[in-house]
Structure 1
Amino acid sequence: MLNISPAKIATVIMRARKYDADVPGSGHARELRGFISAMNEDEQASLTAVMWIGRETFDASELQEAINTARAEATVPTEDYLLGVPMLADYLEDGLSALGISLEEAQEEIDPSV
């Protein structure tokens, strides 16, 4: 079971897309890093697991194993690890899809103040 809302993952995807198209000095990296670092450990582990599922390191049926592995193997801050992953937004979107979660529906639930 995911310990993060699909809306939070959708927010990371949107911010990661801005980060990928970043213009130096725009602050997109700082915003994405801050958003991820503000998550609790369970949310960060679930976010990492969704990325791994999207990258096909794990299958969707191995979600709990991926979450447990993310917790066990966390040696650097999650935001540092994830911002170093090329195509982060694509992997997260693919991971949501593999888990049967619609990105469009998740985006509808995003808190505009985030």
Structure 2
Amino acid sequence: MVEIPELSISPETVRAIISMARRFDAKDAVTDPDPGSNGTDDGMLEVLEDHADDPVRAEITTFIHDLNVDEQVDLVALTWLGRGDGDLDNWDDLRAEASRAHNNRTASYLLGTPLLADYLGEALSLFGQSCDDPDAERL
């Protein structure tokens, strides 16, 4: 049986990032980079587009930036684990590589990772944690 390593980042924090990443992933490419009209005239499509000043992007970027270095390293290592770049047996190696690669662009890197929420959810499950946010609304 594989011993589950201890994380520097809490599962609750990872779940919060998963929630934000899902909202961010719902965004579409910008179709009108300079909308000059009233949003209601355009069917409010701008809300679903990934603009540079998008509040969802700003929220997740600030949230990740405010994490300490160990938490950011764990977050990147969890992303890699969830996408299948390793398993719990080589967690220390994944984490060491994430530590070597760490820089001030962690949020940008993670936001550029397709399926980020899915990867983090998969990684949490490998740590015996649910990726479901207990406070999330159920449909």
Q: Which has the larger radius of gyration?
A: 2
- Is 1:4 the counterpart of 2:19? The answer is no
Q: What is the CA-CA distance between 1:101 and the residue it aligns to? A: 1.4
Q: Partners in 2 of 1:99 and 1:62 — Cα distance? A: 13
Task: Kindly provide the amino acid, as one letter, of the partner of residue 55 in structure 1.
Answer: R
Task: Kindly provide the amino acid, as one letter, of the partner of residue 81 in structure 2.
Answer: I
List structure 1 segments (4+ residues) > 2 angstroms apart after TM superposition: 107-110
Task: Kindly provide the amino acid, as one letter, of the partner of residue 119 in structure 2.
Answer: Y
Q: Partners in 1 of 2:121 and 2:20 — Cα distance? A: 12
1:108 counterpart residue number: 134
1:61 counterpart residue number: 89
Match 1:15 to one of 8, 20, 24: 20
Q: Partners in 2 of 1:10 and 1:70 — Cα distance? A: 20
Q: Partners in 2 of 1:59 and 1:76 — Cα distance? A: 26
Q: What is the CA-CA distance between 1:14 and the residue it aligns to? A: 0.1
TM-score (norm 2): 0.71
Cα contact 1:7–1:109 (8 A) shared by 2: no
Q: What is the CA-CA distance between 1:33 and the residue it aligns to? A: 0.8
Q: Partners in 2 of 1:70 and 1:63 — Cα distance? A: 10
TM-score (norm 1): 0.86
Task: Kindly provide the amino acid, as one letter, of the partner of residue 62 in structure 1.
Answer: N
Aligned-partner SS, 1:103 = coil
Aligned-partner SS, 1:4 = coil
Structure 1, unpaired ranges of 5+: none
Cα RMSD of the aligned pairs, angstroms, is: 1.8
Cα contact 1:2–1:46 (8 A) shared by 2: yes
Q: How many residues align?
A: 108
* Structure of greater relative contact order (alpha carbons < 8 Å, 6+ residues apart): 1
Structure 2, unpaired ranges of 5+: 1-5, 28-47
